[in-house]
């Protein structure tokens, strides 16, 4: 069921709680070699770049760092990035809940097609995602002439960046919620209805509390991707300084201008966001583990 | 509140789950919907609750068409097979749910809700679990909480879907008795779904036997057990032995042996099926006439109020028989003993004309 979602860890959650020490059959040295390799690998691929970013960001002193992240272009990039996330995340949250509700709780024609559609942004290259919007809204695109006539600017302007980001991040919440909702089934919602709850009260009092951790997890992933997206946004942005640059695009421009310290300083902001995301993610994951264990306990009793 | 079901049909895709069913349940009755899985009994219950909509036909609550009413306005209490307790709420909050979601105008105060919840907890004898979560309770406790939750809104009709289905035998027996008393005290109309004939016979005032989306028979436990209208009902309500008979020139044969079967001559038939319940056999050491069947004891189970015997006749048919402990002691039966079996009475004939 959750085959496509390794981070849900349904299997490992069970292993962890039921058989904590079952790997101790390996001889000591093998264990330490394996752990060593894992840490070395992660160290080279993850920790080293992070350290690199931070040392480079600060190598000309804290003043340069501050200057780099407070210059008007950088501030405008931060503003646009925040605005994009602020638009994309709530919209995708609503879409994600609606889609996963439809998929998990109803049977209808075209359900598998919808499931496949949800995965499209994850399976196509971000550049193509960006190009789709250029093809629709660009001057030569399908809606281009009409938009120009009415003086609406979408491509090479913030609206295109927001739209593209929404497109790229829309699977995040839905993919988290579908397996959770499927596992929980319809029973509690039906019970709420027979007890006289309206659809809205049922959702607020029963459905939402049952999926809150999964939803939060999806929102965190969605937010991280929305703020960090480069490829798709790059295609539609037009790279107008101070106007259509998000943080990742701004970093690229600084880098191409050989302003390495400034580039790394701004990059450290994104890195900081990533670390916060990771911490939030691990906190939320323990909540999800609990949610899943409760479901399993519940289901276990059912079959027992 | 009485419930009247009129010509209700329900399809799932091409599968006809309910096939033109009509049924009337009077106020205060405790009715069992009994049938094998896939017989449509749960679907019928869900249609009454409004959780499914019938493709055609109507449901009347006290003579009033219920199709216009949404589930939440039908005032039915529904107890789900797997309890469906709200997992993130305490027992207290679960029971209070129905009262708290009432529209502000008619919602009772928290104080009144507390009184009501405590009262219900006392009724289900679980005052001490108030602050626990559903997963901290045993199956039987959850079932009782689910019942209390359904009763909190004082429904006129109580619908229970396999209420004891996932409980162990001991708890199930207790809860059956309890439900029976409970129903009588509350003076409520109740319908429950079960596939367990013993449960239906023990608890219900009236049993509706269902099969393949149709009603086979409606009657009191006594009626459906002793006067089944067809072989399905007979088979479903307790063990039964089936014999295939041939009729030639007015004589009745079981295998190659001629047996006496009074009344058969009147029917111009070629074959018949004969159904006899295990306790309707008499087992003897000596033959007592032509209707006796010679058989060998294959297995003896003396545990319980009666002794169960597996017998094998000359013609190779297996017979299940039940005799009293006294008879068993008097006969001194052992495995591989030879005995003679006489039907004391015959439950049911099924003629092929």
Q: What is the DSSP letter of B279?
A: G
More confident residue, B150 or B317: B150
Q: Which residue of B has its CA nearest to A294?
A: B135
pLDDT of B217 reads 92
CB A169 within 8 A of CB A222: yes
CA distance B135 to chain A (A): 6
Tens digit of each residue's pLDDT (9 = 90 or more) over A137-176: 877 777 777 777 887 777 788 888 888 898 888 888 998 8
CB B241 within 8 A of CB B276: yes
Q: Do B97 and A197 touch (CB under 8 A)?
A: yes
Q: pLDDT category, B98, cuts 50, 70, 90? A: very high
More confident residue, A59 or B339: B339
Q: Do B87 and A190 touch (CB under 8 A)?
A: no
Mutant choice from B82, B140, B145 vs A, greatest count of A C-beta within 10 A: B82
User: Is A198 an 8 Å CB contact of chain B?
Assistant: yes
Q: pLDDT category, A41, cuts 50, 70, 90? A: very high
Residue B295: name the closest of B258, B332, B267, B337 by CA: B337
CA distance B159 to chain A (A): 10
Residues 6+ apart with CB under 8 A from B178: none
Mutant choice from A186, A194, A202 vs B, greatest count of B C-beta within 10 A: A194
Q: Do A195 and B98 touch (CB under 8 A)?
A: yes
Residue in A194, A197, A209 nearest the CB of B76: A194
pLDDT of B290 reads 65
Dmax (CA) of chain B = 82
Q: pLDDT category, A60, cuts 50, 70, 90? A: confident
Between chain A and chain B, the number of residue pairs with CB atoms below 8 A apart is: 74
User: Is A6 an 8 Å CB contact of chain B?
Assistant: no
Q: Do A210 and B87 touch (CB under 8 A)?
A: yes
User: Is A119 an 8 Å CB contact of chain B?
Assistant: no
Q: What is the DSSP letter of A206?
A: I
Dmax (CA) of chain A = 74
Mutant choice from B48, B66, B72 vs A, greatest count of A C-beta within 10 A: B72
Q: pLDDT category, A15, cuts 50, 70, 90? A: very low
Tens digit of each residue's pLDDT (9 = 90 or more) over B161-183: 988 877 788 888 888 888 888 88
Alpha-carbon distance of B151 to B241, in angstroms, equals: 43
Tens digit of each residue's pLDDT (9 = 90 or more) over A221-243: 888 888 888 888 888 887 777 77
Q: Do B77 and A194 touch (CB under 8 A)?
A: yes
Residue A242, judged by CB atoms within 10 A of its CB (0-12, 13-18, 19+), counts as middle
Least confident residue range of A98-102, A151-155, B18-22: A151-155
Q: Do A205 and B76 touch (CB under 8 A)?
A: no
User: Is B53 an 8 Å CB contact of chain A?
Assistant: no
Least confident residue range of A153-162, A203-212, B215-224, B288-297: B288-297
Q: Which residue of A has its CA nearest to B96?
A: A195
Alpha-carbon distance of B169 to B236, in angstroms, equals: 20
In the structure encoding, which two tokens stand for residue A257, read together?
Answer: 């201008």
User: Is B72 an 8 Å CB contact of chain A?
Assistant: yes
pLDDT of B104 reads 87
Q: Answer yes or no: is pLDDT of A8 > 70.
A: no
Residue A208: name the closest of A97, A69, A44 by CA: A97
Q: pLDDT category, A40, cuts 50, 70, 90? A: very high
Q: Answer yes or no: is pLDDT of A301 > 70.
A: no
Q: Do B84 and A187 touch (CB under 8 A)?
A: yes
Residues 6+ apart with CB under 8 A from B210: B33, B34, B35, B39, B40, B41, B44, B216
What Rg value do the Cα atoms of chain B yield, rounded?
25
Q: Do B80 and A193 touch (CB under 8 A)?
A: no
ipTM of this predicted structure: 0.81
Sign of CA dihedral B195, B197, B203, B206: positive
CA distance A97 to chain B (A): 19
Tens digit of each residue's pLDDT (9 = 90 or more) over B112-162: 999 999 999 988 888 888 889 998 898 888 988 999 999 898 888 999 998
Residue B264, judged by CB atoms within 10 A of its CB (0-12, 13-18, 19+), counts as middle
Alpha-carbon distance of B161 to B172, in angstroms, equals: 14
Which residues in chain B have their CB less than 8 angstroms from residue A190's CB? 51, 78, 80, 84
Q: Do B142 and A197 touch (CB under 8 A)?
A: no
Cα B27 → chain centroid? 20
Q: Answer yes or no: is pLDDT of A297 > 90.
A: no
Please report, in angstroms and rounded to a whole number, the separation of the first and last CA atoms in chain A. Answer: 21
User: Is B22 an 8 Å CB contact of chain A?
Assistant: no
Q: Which residue of B has its CA nearest to A210?
A: B88
Q: Which residue of B has its CA nearest to A209?
A: B88
User: Is B27 an 8 Å CB contact of chain A?
Assistant: no
Q: Answer yes or no: is pLDDT of A65 > 60.
A: yes
Residues 135..154 of B with a Cβ closer than 8 Å to A: which?
135, 139, 142, 149-150, 152-153
Q: Answer yes or no: is pLDDT of A293 > 80.
A: no
User: Is B71 an 8 Å CB contact of chain A?
Assistant: yes
Which residues in chain A have their CB less than 8 angstroms from residue B80's CB? 187, 190-191
User: Is A205 an 8 Å CB contact of chain B?
Assistant: yes
């Amino acid at each position: 069921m959750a085959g496509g979602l390794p981070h849900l860890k349904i299997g490992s959650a069970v292993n962890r709680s039921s058989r904590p020490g079952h790997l101790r059959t390996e001889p000591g040295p093998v264990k330490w070699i394996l752990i060593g390799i894992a840490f070395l690998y992660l160290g080279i691929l993850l920790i080293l770049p992070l350290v690199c970013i931070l040392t480079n960001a600060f190598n000309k002193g804290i003043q340069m760092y501050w200057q780099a992240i407070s210059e008007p272009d950088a501030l405008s990039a931060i503003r646009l990035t925040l605005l994009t996330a602020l638009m994309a995340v709530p919209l995708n949250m609503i879409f994600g809940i609606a889609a996963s509700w439809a998929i998990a709780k109803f049977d209808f024609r075209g359900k598998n097609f919808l499931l496949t559609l949800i995965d499209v942004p994850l399976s196509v290259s971000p550049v193509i995602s960006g190009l789709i919007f250029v093809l629709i809204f660009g001057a030569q695109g399908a809606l281009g002439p009409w938009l120009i006539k009415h003086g609406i600017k979408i491509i090479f302007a913030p609206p295109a960046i927001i739209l593209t980001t929404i497109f790229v991040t829309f699977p995040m919440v839905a993919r988290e919620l579908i397996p959770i909702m499927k596992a929980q089934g319809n029973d509690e919602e039906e019970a709420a209805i027979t007890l006289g709850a309206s659809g809205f009260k049922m959702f607020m009092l029963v459905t939402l509390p049952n999926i809150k951790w999964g939803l939060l997890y999806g929102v965190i992933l969605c937010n991280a991707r929305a703020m960090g997206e480069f490829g798709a946004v790059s295609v539609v942005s037009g790279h107008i300084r101070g106007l259509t640059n998000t943080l990742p695009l701004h970093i690229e421009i600084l880098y191409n201008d050989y302003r390495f310290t400034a580039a790394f300083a701004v990059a450290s902001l994104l890195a900081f966001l990533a670390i916060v995301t990771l911490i939030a993610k691990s906190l939320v994951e323990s909540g999800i583990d609990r949610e899943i264990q409760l479901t399993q306990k519940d289901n276990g009793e059912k079959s027992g | 509140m009485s419930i009247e079901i009129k010509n209700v049909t329900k399809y799932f895709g091409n599968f006809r789950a309910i096939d033109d069913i009509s049924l009337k349940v009077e106020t205060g009755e405790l009715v069992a919907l009994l049938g094998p899985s896939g017989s449509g009994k749960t679907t019928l219950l869900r249609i009454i609750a409004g959780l499914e909509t019938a493709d055609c036909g109507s449901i009347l609550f006290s003579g009033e068409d219920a199709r216009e009413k949404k589930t939440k306005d039908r005032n039915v209490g529904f107890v789900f097979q797997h309890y469906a307790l709200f997992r993130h709420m305490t027992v207290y909050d679960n029971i209070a749910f129905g009262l708290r979601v009432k529209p502000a105008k008619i919602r009772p105060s928290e104080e009144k809700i507390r009184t009501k919840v405590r009262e219900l907890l006392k009724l289900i004898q679980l005052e001490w679990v108030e602050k626990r979560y559903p997963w901290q309770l045993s199956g039987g406790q959850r079932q009782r909480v689910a019942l209390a939750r359904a009763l909190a809104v004082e429904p006129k009709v109580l619908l229970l879907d396999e209420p004891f289905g996932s409980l162990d035998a001991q708890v199930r027996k207790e809860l059956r008795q309890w439900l029976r008393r409970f129903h009588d005290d509350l003076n409520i109309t109740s319908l429950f779904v079960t596939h367990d004939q013993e449960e239906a016979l023990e608890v219900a005032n009236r049993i509706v036997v269902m099969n393949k989306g149709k009603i086979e028979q409606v009657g009191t436990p006594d009626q459906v057990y002793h006067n089944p209208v067809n072989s399905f009902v007979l088979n479903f309500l307790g063990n039964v032995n089936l014999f295939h008979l041939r009729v030639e020139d007015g004589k009745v044969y079981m295998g190659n042996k001629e047996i006496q079967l009074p009344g058969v001559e009147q029917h111009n038939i070629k074959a018949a099926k004969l159904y006899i319940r295990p306790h309707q056999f008499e087992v003897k050491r000596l033959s007592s006439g032509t209707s006796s069947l010679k058989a060998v004891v294959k297995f003896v189970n003396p545990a319980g109020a009666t002794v169960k015997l597996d017998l094998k006749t000359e013609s190779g048919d297996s017979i299940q028989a039940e005799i009293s402990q006294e008879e068993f002691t008097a006969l001194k039966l052992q495995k591989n003993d030879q005995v003679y079996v006489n039907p004391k009475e015959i439950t049911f004939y099924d003629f092929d004309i």
